[in-house]
């Protein structure tokens, strides 16, 4: 099993052998979105600039396959054709030189020749984002699953990834992170639930059910008693700075500010007697690109005295993961106030932007028979 971890500062790919528990590095730091070729010989991944790399598993040799079309967040994760020749992923073009906006399109690369083709699911229709919308190639090579307008679609394709017809909508509920399971099934996330879609011959859904995932997250409430010996304290209330004081903390609360005493039994001491202590800073505009910047992103904020950040746009599940990890003490960084994706128009720029506004948009409930109306 391949996975990514940023425990050394930047995301790196590692390999876990479930039978023995052996865990080894496959790449150095700065590699993300790993995808093994069908025969297991080549690893496709990205570096932190969004450049697509092909890495020979046996030798570790890497070569550049393609560079990203634009900035403002990396391209999406790559997916292999069943024959191992083509690689597809979501990237963004730029429609003109005046504005950076464009479409989240399907970019298909020939790994033998380096040539590429670019496709939209339908005219003026972007994929929903470049983090959780696919595309993912089906095991039989006939379909690409993707998310557009927040719902799941199947796009018929030829062996080289060229669309062979119109995309067909297969869900009427929000979808993210599609992946193929056993033949004829699609897994995806919907509103925090793991959903399994069973397909008949072709894209017609037979049934969709929720798979139980018994995972819980509990914040670690440490009741440590701490005193910070401040040479100078500026509390930001308008009062004059105070010299040589102890800031007493219990758990996550400041309980008192008192004149310094040489001994505070039961308290762990942080010596800031040669410095100035002030309230933590609040960064009111952030976007957590943890896949790119890794753990050092949050640690750098702490190093600059930022103890709370507000995320004004991120991949929803990634934002929740980071918020819970920080709140539970599983990682270190500022408290995170998070929200989901940005809402864009038909054209988009950021990787976590969610474009919308097709001429015909979904207006019905998230269940039952589809109902469409025109916005023009």
Token look-up 């308290």 returns: 267
Distance CA 232, CA 266 (A): 23
Residue 221 confidence (pLDDT): 63
Q: Distance from CA of residue 79 to its chain's centroid?
A: 16
Which segments of 95-199 are extended strands (E)? 104-110, 116-119, 136-137, 143-148, 151-156, 168-169, 176-180, 185-190, 193-199
What is the C-alpha to C-alpha distance for residues 205 and 179, in angstroms, rounded to an integer? 15
pLDDT in tens, the chain (376 residues): 999 998 888 899 999 999 999 999 999 999 999 999 999 999 999 999 999 999 999 999 999 999 999 888 889 999 999 999 999 999 999 888 888 899 999 999 999 999 999 999 988 889 999 989 999 999 999 999 999 999 999 999 999 999 999 999 999 899 999 999 887 899 999 998 999 999 866 566 678 899 998 887 776 666 789 999 999 999 999 999 999 999 999 988 899 999 999 999 989 999 999 999 999 999 999 888 777 888 888 899 999 999 999 988 888 888 888 888 888 888 889 999 988 888 888 888 888 888 887 555 444 444 444 444 433 3
pLDDT of residue 367: 42
Alpha carbon distance 130, 141 (integer Å)? 22
Q: Compute the distance between CA of residue 130 and CA of residue 351 in angstroms, rounded to an integer.
A: 5
How far, in whole angstroms, is CA 170 from its chain's centroid?
A: 24
Exposed / middle / buried, residue 174 (Cβ in 10 Å: 0-12, 13-18, 19+):
middle
Q: Which residues, 6 or more positions from 328, have their beta carbon under 8 angstroms from its beta carbon?
A: 217, 218, 219, 220
Global confidence as pTM: 0.85
Token code pair at residue 168? 């067909």
CA–CA distance, 10 with 219 (Å, rounded to integer): 25
Give CA–CA dist 82/88, Å, rounded: 11
How many residues are listed for the chain in this entry?
Answer: 376
């Amino acid at each position: 099993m391949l996975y990514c971890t940023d425990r050394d500062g930047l995301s790196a790919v590692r390999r876990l052998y479930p039978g023995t528990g052996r865990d080894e590095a496959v790449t150095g730091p700065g590699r993300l979105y790993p995808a093994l070729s069908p025969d297991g010989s080549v690893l496709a991944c990205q570096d932190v600039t969004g450049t697509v790399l092909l890495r020979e598993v046996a030798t570790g040799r890497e070569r550049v396959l393609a560079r990203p079309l634009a900035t403002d967040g990396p391209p999406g994760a790559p997916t292999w054709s069943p024959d191992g020749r083509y690689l597809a992923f979501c990237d963004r073009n730029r429609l003109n030189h005046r504005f950076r906006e464009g479409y989240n399109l399907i970019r298909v690369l020939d790994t033998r020749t380096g040539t590429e083709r670019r496709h939209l699911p339908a005219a003026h229709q972007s994929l929903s984002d470049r983090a959780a919308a696919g595309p993912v190639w089906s095991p039989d090579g006939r379909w690409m699953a993707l998310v557009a307008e927040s719902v799941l679609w199947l796009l018929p394709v030829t062996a080289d990834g060229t669309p062979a017809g119109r995309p067909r909508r297969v869900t009427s509920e929000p979808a993210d992170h599609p992946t193929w399971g056993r033949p004829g099934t699609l897994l995806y996330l919907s509103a925090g639930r793991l959903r399994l879609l069973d397909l008949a011959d072709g894209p017609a859904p037979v049934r969709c059910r929720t798979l139980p995932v018994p995972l819980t997250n509990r914040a670690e409430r440490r009741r440590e008693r701490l005193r910070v010996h401040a040479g100078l304290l500026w509390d930001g209330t308008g009062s004059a700075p105070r010299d040589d004081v102890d800031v007493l903390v219990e758990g996550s609360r400041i309980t008192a500010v008192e004149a310094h005493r040489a001994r505070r039994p039961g308290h762990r001491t942080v010596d800031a007697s040669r410095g100035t202590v002030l309230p933590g800073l609040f960064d009111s505009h952030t976007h957590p690109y943890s896949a790119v910047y890794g753990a050092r992103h949050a640690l750098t904020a702490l190093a600059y005295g930022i103890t709370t950040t507000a995320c004004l746009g991120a991949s929803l599940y990634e934002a929740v993961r980071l918020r819970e990890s920080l709140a539970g003490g599983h990682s270190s960084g500022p408290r995170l106030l998070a929200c989901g994706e940005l809402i864009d128009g038909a054209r988009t720029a950021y990787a976590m932007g969610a474009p919308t506004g097709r001429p015909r948009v979904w207006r019905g409930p998230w269940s039952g028979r589809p109902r469409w109306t025109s916005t023009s």
